[in-house]
Structure 1
């Protein structure tokens, strides 16, 4: 994991580079208009829709000091989607979320990226916990949140998203013990 500029962090894993889409040298528009992006952002792959999605992602970084990372293959430069903390208005607290492009599922990319982001949040940003919210029936996200070691905490209802199950991620030490007492 490296962080050349705290404003625009770069996280690295064995296979992945996680880039802040707000960084001046990252072409977020090109990433949103890449093949497979339509299903990823739930909008038609046109420049106007992409601009709104990019503005929202970059704006979150400027408003909160954190946000989604663009997940990129370190060797090929292939874009895989977004993974990172997200805390829009109306959310109960910051959420670790992920959205992968078509074809990136089932390769361990989301798990690898989410672990890197959790390490960054807990070790660099000093967070003690965060949540992920999973829609009923989203089997892949449920499997991922369980691989990450989160625990279920109940339900959340939002007027736009409907019912979501809340899963809690808790900071751990390098040996895997939880940093905070009182969490099961």
Structure 2
């Protein structure tokens, strides 16, 4: 089993999920904020998603890390590398809890995990699957240097796929 890493950036700690993260994660997945992630969903589906994010570490060697502010210790969201039966390619994904947008946290966290994926895990490419209406995530993907890949396989043919290569 792969040890779940803890990564640090200038302002953030990216750490393994823990049970204390569940209430905020549940609230997000039951709210309209989850509309670009298949939500809102019932509690039992939210639990399955939460467990999936953690289980990928033992099954795939990668998964989700929670985004914590160094300055306050507050958990403000999640960043993940996803793969498996639901993801045709290794996907770099992120979300922030309400009120955390506009500070560059998602970009900072995704940059760190993308670097880990390429350097420590040895990936050659990553994609982000993004709903066409999710302008915030599209801007993040572009800031990360992602380029639209119209040929990338995807579960939802309407999603955009932004591709990243090692820098």
Question: TM over 0.5: same fold?
Answer: yes
Q: Does the CA contact (< 8 Å) of 1:70 and 1:79 recur in 2?
A: yes
Offset, 1:102: 0.9
Gaps spanning 5+ residues in structure 1: where?
A: 1-5, 22-27, 173-184
Which of 164, 167, 170 in structure 1 is aligned with 2:162? 167
Higher relative contact order (CA 8 A, sep 6+): 2
The alignment covers a number of residue pairs equal to 158
The aligned counterpart of 2:15 is 19
SS of the aligned residue for 2:87 comes to coil
- Residue from 141, 151, 172 that aligns with 2:147: 151
**Residue 61 of structure 2: which of 53, 65, 74 is its match?**
65
Q: State the alpha-carbon separation in 2 of the partners of residues 143 and 50 from structure 1.
A: 26
CA distance in 2, matches of 1:135, 1:44: 17
RMSD across aligned C-alpha pairs, in angstroms?
2.2
Secondary structure of 1:93's counterpart equals strand
1:154 counterpart SS class: coil
Calculate the TM-score normalised by the size of structure 1.
0.76
Greater helix proportion: 2
- Please identify the structure whose Cα radius of gyration is greater: 1
Q: How does 1:5-154 map to 2 (within 5 A)?
A: 7-21=3-17, 28-34=18-24, 37=28, 38-39=30-31, 42=39, 51-154=47-150
The 1:43–1:90 alpha-carbon spacing in structure 2 relative to 1, beyond 3 Å, is closer
The gaps in structure 2 that reach 5 residues or longer are: none
Q: C-alpha distance in 1, partners of 2:95/2:154? A: 20
